[in-house]
Amino acid sequence: MRKFGVFIVVLLGLLVNSCKLESKQTKEKETIESVSIDLNDIVKRGKIRVVTDYNSTNYFVYKGRPLGYQLELLQALSNTLGLKLEIIVSNDVDKNFNSLLAGEVDLIATNLTVTRNRGHKVAFTEHHCVTRQVLVQQTQSNDPNTSYDKEIIRNQLDLGGKTIYVQENSSYVNRLRNLSNEIGDSINIVEIPDYEVEQLIALVASGEIPYTVCDENLAKINLNFYDNIDIETAVSFPQKIGWAVRPNSIDLKDVVDNWLINFKKTNQYKRIYRKYFINKRSTHLVNSTFHSIKGGKISAYDAIIKEESKRFNFDWRLVAALIYQESRFLPEVESWAGAIGLMQLMPQTAASFGVKEITSPQDNIQGGLKFLIWLNKRFEKVIEDPEERLKFVLASYNVGPGHVEDAMRLAEKNNKNPHIWEDNVDYYLLNKSKPSFYNDPVVKYGYCRGEEPFHYVTDILERYTHYKNVIVD
């Protein structure tokens, strides 16, 4: 059944290719204008919006933790700029270019090969690495009835007449077209929509397609997952891999260029590159059940989290993000303050919500969700927007509703909005450890170590966003 589905995808790819070539060439002649958004606008916004692709190297979740080569680079960049990082996920190259030019994102952070044709649309940053494109083929066929050639191709001249399947609108398409001219023979290039590079490598390994092309550093990673693929035949010279910004984002490009030039010299960059492209100890992660690509599980308790979240009308990924923050999915962990279990319930809180066995994952999650519902009801009359209210609920789950309500009263007293979290109530909760704040007459619950709930809310919501990006609901 799987092979039939792949056949349909491949057939559609062939039909789409033949039909759209003329319109594609017409579009390339059009002048593409982009909106005018530069560094000052991004700084005023307070966050940089970046699109990256979801695969086993650039961006994924492992055991509840967001990871990836591109993600770690972007986190280092955003920390340097003092900006929040908003990640958007898309493996569609054309869509990413359009989103950039339309101002929906500020930066494309994928493995973009720096080419002259693409340089007419976007401005490339300083490259973050150098690699070359290689042919991915089987070392031997798993299927004795396959019609694909079994002889390994080593000479690029032997690609004449062959069919190679590549990601639609990728740099591999242009490289193969140029290579076809260079060898003086036709190469049948099939662009596959909706399939990412690693998915095509998997199809080569299973014998469902004969060849694909990808960057060598990514190909080397996939050698650890498939013992029957060959990646030794290069189809390009070494090429620069970079990010892209809008052509008129001059200041942003200058800042990112300077940062990359300096960052590549650091031990931090070397550690990140080794972690994802060289260190074989990291490659076992992809075959794990708890890798978002292969296993698709966040934790060993996903089934219970889903079941209980559905009962109480919560997005299970939000609950999982909270549990990771509280216990790292360890059901018998106990905090210094006496909180116990996956959702770190205090014994008295657990008792008040009918939790029978506090270390039981199911009972603990039920109690935690009942507590969240109770907190939500406490705030819903004064904060109508459910997304905004969630921030108050999360902070209260961590530190108690009394301290959050103190921060709301402080905000109102100081002409801030007591019903808005960011840059309003969160500021007063953050500073509630200072005498000038907790001794204020409107404060009822006294001292609070406000830094913890301040970061608690941010961390959970960021993790929740990552889960939504890569984990199916």
CA 133 to chain centre: 24
Contact 440, 450 (CB under 8 A): no
Q: Is 22 exposed, middle or buried (0-12, 13-18, 19+ CB in 10 A)?
A: exposed
Tell me the C-alpha distance between 408 and 221, whole Å.
Answer: 50
CA 3 to chain centre: 29
Contact 399, 387 (CB under 8 A): no
Phi, psi of 378 (to 5 degrees): -65, -30
Report how far apart, in Å, the C-alpha atoms of 86 and of each of 50, 91, 107 are: 6, 16, 11
Tell me the C-alpha distance between 294 and 204, whole Å.
Answer: 17
Q: Which amino acid is at 448?
A: C
Number of alpha carbons in the 13 Å side-chain half-sphere of residue 443: 22
Q: Give the active site residue among 72, 326, 332, 387.
A: 326
Contact 385, 379 (CB under 8 A): no
Alpha carbon dihedral 49, 54, 58, 60, in 10-degree steps, equals: 100
242 closest CA partner among 114, 131, 121, 119: 114
Pairing state of beta strands 47-52 and 107-113? parallel
Q: By three-state DSSP, how is residue 179 classified?
A: helix
403 closest CA partner among 351, 456, 365, 366: 456
Contact 58, 110 (CB under 8 A): yes
Catalytic annotation present for 326: yes
139's CB contacts (< 8 A; 6+ apart) are 152, 228, 229, 230
Tell me the C-alpha distance between 362 and 307, whole Å.
Answer: 9
Instruction: Point out the residues that are catalytic.
Output: 326
